[in-house]
Chains A and B, each alone.
Chain A
């Protein structure tokens, strides 16, 4: 048996996929690290003391210019919507509607101004709100944030306002509620979810806006209107509805300005623009081009507005607004102040001095942020940071000189002005470059990498498909070699060009190269194969028909797979996947039964007469139908354990998800507890029963002893842990400390026992008891029927005798007068027994990580897997498969569908708030020294079903052999001498696999590749969906998380698959040693 080549090949394929995933991720997922620090009034950033004395009370960092501000956010207010062009004769529905802004800007040019407001991608509303309040570039994953909530953890404008005692009032989009819990002095939230609803939010705001403004009980008022955005999504911008909506906004602004006082700053902003179809999310010009309008009743600007409105990045709003309102700039802000707002109507020199001081504060704050960021993350290039640092320090030096001269009053106006101007422009340069550096690494999709990753995954899928069908030997050496060569070359090139080797790029190039070489080799061998097959003309035509038939046979499982992949492209289907996956699974199984019937495999066709008169069904049919019914019931029952997503408001999460401790009713709690423990015990009983049935529980090896005694012990520990964890805290009183210890000790006992079990399994996975009997010469093969001692019969054992071993024994013992036969109990199911034990241990571990009542779902999982295996075996037996060594596609696909079904049925959803974070604290008292262990625990919890199904995947190959029950062929009329030999061969079970080690290893390889192919196809669908739909409204809420969960699931699954296959190989190794020892005996 080729063990290492097979494992190596699978590992290589996994590596290809991983490289693809990594490449795609680096192009698609914008990541950044969130800093938890926040600015405060007393930070040593403030200007020199002589300037500080002039700070009026209530101001921080810079003098307060406005005591109040109104921020009106009109969602998706594109710049073109706000611009007014009187020359236009026939404006489009969205043009020239906000005439009031134009009126203000022309009648009071020093009070009002319109800007282009450049949004940074991703232009999704939530990311934009984050950006508008933190002044940073939020990405899809802001590492460091608490995934359990969407709440903004970073320092932000609202937090600064609240910290400095300002009252913030909010009305509008309820996304803000999740982002800023308990930050608002008063708030009016309206549901934002229904995109079809144009009016609820806007009408709600209008109802409260003017009374609130008039009441004066606020310092900052935020109103977030959603109508324009929803109108875009529903009708597109070019629609009469949009005209109505914008006119309504115009009226709103008109009356709002009437209600404002002189000390109030009004800002009207769009969080992003929209495309021609009304969507947003990406980085195209139309999406990022929003509008900002600034107005105040006191004079704001020292100069008249420029001809063409200036374009400013969105991050500039935060520092500007913070300093205008006299609060510190949020810590992570990378924006630049808008200088013209700080000039007022004083003289040019004093205005410039004021601007210089705010620039100085701004630059220092950005520098502080960049410094702290570079300490925790390396994603900003070091040499650029170095350059920025140099730029800033030289400017600072000059600034100090300048201030000294200003104080000494040695400067004359023209010189002063020019120096001022140059200083300001140097600060500006610094701030802009700093922002550019951040943008470059945080807020840019890299299409090339995305396409590359996608291609790599697609070709890997193709490779799996090609290889899983071929019958010639895999060619692995050259691809690996070439991959290595390319990798080494790239690393060398990188080293010579003084660049740090980018691991991701190197590995993906290596993957691509090795793949290319593989396909080249394959292509070279393929024609040969074809020629060989085509050498016999009559066979070729038969081959064609056969091939067409095979292709049609493939069509039905592949069709289901295709449907499943297609479903990844619709956000509604991804949201409803918890119900789609079981639907597909049920359909697949029903189709299988239907197909078996249609092909006439279900009816016994003994003779032509019988065929006409009565269609007597075979007895196995009833087994099959019962199993199918059991499967359907399992699938339906498992839907009672679902978690909810917020996209389906009427959904209620399963009651079983909450821990028992949260139950008020003691009786119900006790009942549930007993039920869970009983079911756990039942699982152990069933496993032991199964092992005993196949005779794997007879030997006295440590592993068997562990199964006998360790399993109940594990159950006992879990039961104790559940009891302790679910008991009410206060009722225990003095025992509190003991409980604290127990809560940690019992999980650790389970972890320990489970790992001991797995170690034992690795050291000696044999669960075989050998008995040597000495008998007369004739009965070489009888021991199967023999060994009729009552003791053995009582044990329900099925002894397995290995023919070849017997023969060798025979030849060796020929010299002796008597012959020995060895009856090996449980030899026929050694492989499966090891897998079953491993799965049970893993199951215990995973159940421990879930809440108590989820163990019901796990039991369903085991039951369903068992039933699926039996359906597969039955179907195979009925169809009379000629190739026992290849697992059909439908089996693999149904296995994977069950895996994704149970991802949902163990209470998970592919969204971050649905992750069970408390799994990290099973066995830990809220303290973790590293991040690795909690990540492993939470990962194991999340991907529990992926792990179990992937490890159990080899069972698909083994089960039909295990279930090759004695007695099925009994009806055969007894033949003469060869019969007995045949009989023995019939009951070789898994030893049949050992008989042909070459085929066995190929079968394992093909099974692994098929599994990876199906898994990879699903992943490919997710990747393509995320890439193609990156402008979709739901990309950050649905597709990107789905892609992330799917790819993590792929990684976990493939690693577990490798582990499962290597466990089988380990058993095979042990069996070989066992035989050699037997022969030596």
Chain B
């Protein structure tokens, strides 16, 4: 049971990684002059949209957190609206935090916001898919012994890796190499993406290796 679930997780995560790679490759076919670095804002949009689409679709198909509660249509709508609001709020919050970390305040607002959206896609959207608009659950998952299933452990790992990647992505910016990818926010968003992908791959492996120690509390 456990093994099968881990394999499933691995497959799903690989699919996500694959979709991110596709966002870098596929548009070049349709659009001349598209590169991840050169037309970065476009790529940011495409990447955010496709990652969210993949996440949502996978979530709808797999339903990892089997919620037995049957709910009315109105309830679903309100839940969906709540998710949208949460997502937007998290974008704004990320934007503010990024600015507080030292990003330019007025210039390149678009870049910063798109980067914030990307980060939200990697973190908040996953939480929303997995846990729903339920802050209590989020808080629980992100504490030491909070994860209750391998899906939640995977969520922990990918989210942290994504944010760590974005943090490390800030380091090349001051270097005087004059590379196109040092321009704000290219290195950060690439860092976040690589971190996220790394997290997606690491998560199932880590869970596999630690499967003996991982004992999830039953609900």
Contacts and interface: CB of A to CB of B under 8 A. Distances in A.
A597 B143 contact: yes
Interface in A537-574: 570-573
Given A600-B144, A615-B136, A572 B102 contact: no
Contact of B174 (A580, A582, A615, A633): A580
Contact of A586 (B100, B136, B143, B145): B100
Q: Range of interface residues on chain A?
A: 20 to 34
Contact of A598 (B143, B175, B178): B143
A340 to B, nearest CB: 45
A639 B144 contact: no
Contacts of A196: 178
B101 A603 contact: no
A571 B176 CA distance: 9
Contacts of B175: 570, 572-573
A235 interface: no
B100 A632 contact: yes
Given A586-B100, A586-B102, A632-B100, 6 more contacts: A572-B175, A572-B176, A573-B174, A575-B174, A583-B101, A636-B100
A563 to B, nearest CB: 8
Task: Specify the main secondary structure of chain A where it touches its partner.
Answer: helix
Interface in A563-605: 570-573, 575-576, 579-580, 582-583, 586-587, 597-600, 603
Nearest to B97: A632
Contacts of B101: 583, 586-587
A598 B144 contact: yes
A614 interface: yes
B99 interface: yes
B143 A576 contact: no
Contacts of B99: 636
B181 interface: no
B140 interface: yes
Taking residues whose C-beta sits less than 8 angstroms from the other chain, chain B's interface range is 10 to 19
B142 interface: yes
B167 interface: yes
Contacts of A586: 100-102
Nearest to A613: B136
Interface string B136-152: 10011011110000000
Contacts of B97: 632
A297 B51 CA distance: 75
B174 A603 contact: no
A461 B178 CA distance: 37
The 7 closest A-B pairs by CB, nearest first: A576-B174, A632-B100, A572-B175, A572-B176, A572-B174, A636-B100, A600-B143
B144 A582 contact: no
Nearest to A576: B174
A292 interface: no
Interface string B81-102: 0000000000000000101111
B102 A636 contact: yes
A603 B143 contact: yes
B142 A603 contact: no
A600 B142 CA distance: 9
Contacts of A614: 136
Contacts of A950: none
Interface in A162-203: 196
B102 A579 contact: yes
B100 A615 contact: no
Interface of B: 97, 99-102, 136, 139-140, 142-145, 167, 170, 174-176, 178
A193 to B, nearest CB: 10
Nearest to A614: B136
Contact of B102 (A598, A599, A600, A639): A639
A859 interface: no
Contacts of A597: 139, 142-143
A615 B100 CA distance: 28
B184 to A, nearest CB: 12
A856 B198 CA distance: 44
A583 B100 CA distance: 9
B170 A633 contact: no
Contacts of A570: 175
A635 interface: yes
Contact of B100 (A579, A580, A635): A635
B174 A579 contact: yes
Contacts of B142: 597-598
Q: Which of B99, B101, B174, B175 has the most CB of A within 10 A?
A: B174
A199 B79 CA distance: 63
A583 B140 CA distance: 28
B92 to A, nearest CB: 14
21 contacts: A572-B175, A573-B174, A573-B175, A576-B174, A579-B174, A580-B174, A586-B100, A597-B142, A597-B143, A598-B142, A599-B143, A599-B144, A600-B144, A603-B143, A614-B136, A615-B136, A632-B100, A633-B100, A636-B99, A636-B102, A639-B102
A583 B99 CA distance: 11
A603 B175 CA distance: 41
A526 B118 CA distance: 53
A579 B171 CA distance: 11
A619 to B, nearest CB: 16
A713 B50 CA distance: 65
B102 A582 contact: yes
B182 to A, nearest CB: 10
A635 B101 CA distance: 9
B192 to A, nearest CB: 15
Nearest to A571: B176
Contacts of A600: 143-145
Nearest to B143: A600
A254 B175 CA distance: 40
Nearest to A640: B105
B102 A615 contact: no
Interface string A634-659: 01100100000000000000000000
Contacts of A576: 174
B157 to A, nearest CB: 13
A576 to B, nearest CB: 4
Contact of A615 (B140, B144, B145, B178): B140
Contacts of A587: 101, 167
Given A572-B174, A576-B174, A603 B139 contact: yes
Contacts of A599: 143-144
Contacts of B174: 572-573, 575-576, 579-580
Nearest to A1034: B176
Nearest to B140: A615
Contacts of B139: 597, 603, 615
Contacts of B140: 615
Contact of B170 (A572, A583, A635, A636): A583
Nearest to B146: A600
A599 B142 CA distance: 10
Contacts of B100: 586, 632-633, 635-636
A905 B136 CA distance: 39
A583 B144 contact: no
A196 B179 CA distance: 12
Contacts of A571: 176
A615 B146 CA distance: 11
